[in-house]
């Protein structure tokens, strides 16, 4: 059992929880995710790691209650428990594998959209702790929906907040800020964009125009997070990938977002899943040993 130590409402729709999970905290890295299960009958819910404290043995998760399971999570309070808290899963961010000296030579830009600010934060924090200062754009629909501003300010080189309605910070979507920063003379060698799929798609079109290699996190298409359900199947370049086992991070300029968004919508209904099965066969990544997906 995994004890919830703290619950905080970050904005009207997003919650933060600090969970006691010593083993995950000991080995997790930015970019990875965990799978949470509330009780015996609970659904497995993959959530990105927002922060971790190796000494305290805690992991911080941030989520927006949307489905039945996350709505149940939202009713939990400090002192309650999750039955399972499994991880770390997925590959850590590529940045964690590069040499610090090489990273220090790079001009890195992070683009965080809405709830996607949560998985961006540990990457920026990790870089800051290793002496690398990255610029960060945080976009939200309106002022009330901006999250983790103080935390991000403490670790970012420059922080640019923007709201779609102009109620706080700059006015406009994150893609406008990318264009504006480049027009202001900023030069970037690397971009990491994390947020809703439509945002990541348009960020990639924008950074492609400016010649900035871009990594995206395909967490939004994950369902079971184990390689078994096939929901997170993607086309990246000419290859078929699964976000939960091959990612969640990919070269955004190679991801077929239109296909991923369409597939993700279809996966939500039994009829859509049946159509996908007919088209793709048993599409999971393999491992169950009885459906032929391993062949």
Chain contacts with ligand NAD (rule: CB under 6 A): 48, 113-116, 119, 139-141, 164, 173-175, 194-196, 198-199, 202, 217, 219-220
Distance of CA 107 to the CA centre of its chain: 21
Does residue 216 sit in helix, strand or coil?
A: strand
Residue 231 found at the interface with ligand FES (CB under 6 A): yes
| The residue count for the chain | 295
Comparing CB distances to ligand NAD, the nearer of 113 and 293 is 113
The binder of ligand FES chosen from 230, 248, 252, 293 (CB under 6 A): 230
Q: Are strands 159-163 and 214-217 parallel, antiparallel or unpaired?
A: unpaired
Contacts of 229 (CB under 8 A, 6+ apart): 223, 284
Distance CA 242, CA 227 (A): 7
Distance of CA 216 to the CA centre of its chain: 8
The binder of ligand FES chosen from 114, 225, 252, 293 (CB under 6 A): 225
Window contacting ligand FES (CB under 6 A); options: 15-23, 153-161, 172-180, 219-227? 219-227
Task: Answer for the pair 206, 228: CB distance below 8 angstroms, yes or no.
Answer: no
Nearest C-alpha neighbor of 111 from the set 252, 243, 255: 252
- Chain positions 260 to 289 lying near ligand FES, rule: CB under 6 A, are 284-285
CA of 104: how far to CAs of 128, 131, 182, in Å?
10, 7, 20
48 binds, among ligand NAD, ligand FES, none (CB under 5 to 8 A by kind): ligand NAD
Residue 45 found at the interface with ligand FES (CB under 6 A): no
Comparing CB distances to ligand FES, the nearer of 95 and 222 is 222
Comparing CB distances to ligand FES, the nearer of 169 and 230 is 230
284 binds, among ligand NAD, ligand FES, none (CB under 5 to 8 A by kind): ligand FES
Distance, first Cα to last Cα, the chain = 37
115 binds, among ligand FES, ligand NAD, none (CB under 5 to 8 A by kind): ligand NAD
Shortest spacing between CB 131 and ligand NAD, in angstroms: 26
Beta bridge mates, 167: none
Interacting residue ranges for ligand FES, rule: CB under 6 A: 222-225, 227-232, 242-244, 284-285
């Amino acid at each position: 059992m995994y004890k919830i130590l703290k619950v905080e409402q970050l904005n009207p729709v997003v919650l933060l929880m600090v969970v006691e999970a010593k083993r995950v905290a000991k080995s997790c890295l930015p970019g990875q995710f965990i799978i949470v299960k509330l009780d015996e009958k609970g659904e497995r819910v993959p959530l990105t790691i927002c922060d971790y404290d190796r000494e305290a043995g805690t992991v911080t998760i941030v989520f927006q209650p949307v489905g039945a399971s996350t709505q149940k999570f939202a009713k939990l309070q400090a002192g309650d428990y999750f039955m399972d808290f499994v991880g770390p899963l997925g590959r850590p961010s590529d940045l964690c594998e590069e040499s610090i000296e090489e990273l220090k030579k790079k001009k890195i830009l992070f683009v965080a959209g809405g709830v996607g600010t949560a998985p961006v934060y540990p990457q920026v924090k990790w870089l800051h702790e290793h002496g690398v200062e990255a610029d960060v754009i945080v976009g939200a629909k309106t002022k009330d929906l901006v999250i983790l501003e103080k935390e991000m300010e403490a670790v970012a080189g420059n922080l640019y907040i923007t709201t779609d309605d102009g109620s706080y910070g700059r006015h406009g979507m994150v893609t406008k800020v990318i264009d504006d920063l480049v027009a202001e003379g900023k030069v970037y060698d690397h971009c990491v964009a994390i947020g809703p799929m439509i945002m990541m798609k348009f960020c990639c079109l924008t950074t492609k125009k400016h010649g900035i290699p871009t990594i995206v996190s395909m967490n939004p298409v994950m369902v079971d997070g184990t390689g078994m359900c096939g929901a997170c199947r993607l086309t990246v370049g000419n290859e078929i990938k699964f976000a939960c086992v091959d990612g969640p991070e990919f070269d955004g300029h190679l991801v077929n977002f239109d296909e991923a968004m369409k597939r993700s919508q279809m996966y939500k209904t039994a009829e859509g899943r049946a159509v996908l099965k007919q088209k793709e066969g048993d599409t999971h990544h393999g491992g169950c040993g009885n459906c032929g997906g391993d062949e």
